[in-house]
Amino acid sequence: MSRTAYVNGAYVPTRDALVHINDRGFQFADGVYEGIAVRRCKMVDAGPHLDRLWRSMGELAITPPMGRKALDVVLSEVIRRNRFSDAFLYIQVTRGVAPRDHAFPANDIPATLFVTCKRFDFDKVLQRALAGVTGITQPDNRWGRCDIKSTGLLPNIMAKQSAREAGVFEAVLVDSDGYITEGSSTNIWAVTEDGDIVTRPITDNILGGITRARIKTIAEKLQISIKDAKISVEQAKNAREIFITSATSCTTPITKLDGEKIGDGTVGPVAKRLIDAYFKFTDN
């Protein structure tokens, strides 16, 4: 079945969905994006994802291509036209089309907006979460504004490719001081040797994950206390549990890092509770 995308005002078959070669997103990665999971035709945490999209555009002084309510209508329409019950929505906004010049165009050009949708298998993600995945550490070579969800993802994709080539699921990025920042496309959490549940503060050059925030709210309800703190690679390897969170991995434990077992090498009790609670939340 051919998929439908939205591009600059029109719903078109995805295979015919094109942007201009002078689009600044294409030439400079001068753009931002969001990825939203859809469970039973309903977007998971749409509000916070759109808040973050607006924040990312604001940080880069990109004029939003439309209002939030209008974008919400477009997103619902893309879901409806693709007839998926469970899906992953991708939204990209770039500064727009202009002859190549590093500085922003002098005139206010319209931003480029497109939305695509692909099938997303929640059951497979749940099965994978319950089995656990493996990871490797990689140097974090990114810039100092990882709080912006920019389409400039070369360091992330290089790290993910290294993970793929090593036969593991996620690359765990490590800063120059030996502390874990986040995954190539996920936030990282640990249950330390002492039993503290920690995740790096979002002020510390990482993306403020929407799933990270949701897991914090869920944990609070379950009276599980979470601390914002840096995790060194050594602490991570001695941790009882490590897990990742993102819109597409939900909550997924890493049971082996750089070939070393985390805890006893199986999915731990904290992750199990959070996986269960997060999937229940997406089902409602």
Active site residues: 149
Using the rule CB under 6 A, which residue among 187, 251, 255, 282 binds ligand PDD?
187
Least distance (Å) between residue 90 CB and ligand PDD: 7
Pick from 96, 171, 92: nearest CA to 137? 171
DSSP state of 254: E
Using the rule CB under 6 A, which residue among 92, 150, 186, 255 binds ligand PDD?
186
Provide long-range contacts, Cβ within 8 A and 24+ apart, for 95-98. 95/24, 95/25, 95/30, 95/31, 95/60, 95/62, 96/23, 96/24, 97/19, 97/20, 97/22, 97/23, 97/24, 98/22, 98/24
Least distance (Å) between residue 108 CB and ligand PDD: 28
Is 32 one of the binding residues for ligand PDD (CB under 6 A)? no
Stretch of 69-77, 222-230, 240-248, 260-268 lying at the interface with ligand PDD (CB under 6 A): 240-248
Q: Give CA–CA dist 115/134, Å, rounded.
A: 31
Look up residue 98 and give its two tokens.
Answer: 């202009």
Is 210 one of the binding residues for ligand PDD (CB under 6 A)? yes
Q: Give CA–CA dist 270/215, Å, rounded.
A: 12
Helices (H), 111-183: 122-131, 154-165
Using the rule CB under 6 A, which residue among 87, 159, 190, 207 binds ligand PDD?
207
φ/ψ bin of 61: left (φ > 0), alpha (ψ from -120 to 50), beta (otherwise)? left
Is 209 one of the binding residues for ligand PDD (CB under 6 A)? yes
The answer to whether residues 129 and 251 touch, using CB atoms and an 8 Å cutoff, is yes
- State the binding string over 146-185 for ligand PDD (x if CB under 6 A, else -): ----------x-------------------------x--x
Using the rule CB under 6 A, which residue among 94, 211, 252, 255 binds ligand PDD?
211
Nearer to ligand PDD, 107 or 203 (CB): 203
Least distance (Å) between residue 155 CB and ligand PDD: 10
Is 116 one of the binding residues for ligand PDD (CB under 6 A)? no
**Pairing relation of β-strands 250-257 and 260-261?**
antiparallel
Is 212 one of the binding residues for ligand PDD (CB under 6 A)? yes
Instruction: Catalog residues that contact ligand PDD under the rule CB under 6 A.
Output: 35, 156, 182, 185-187, 207, 209-212, 245-248
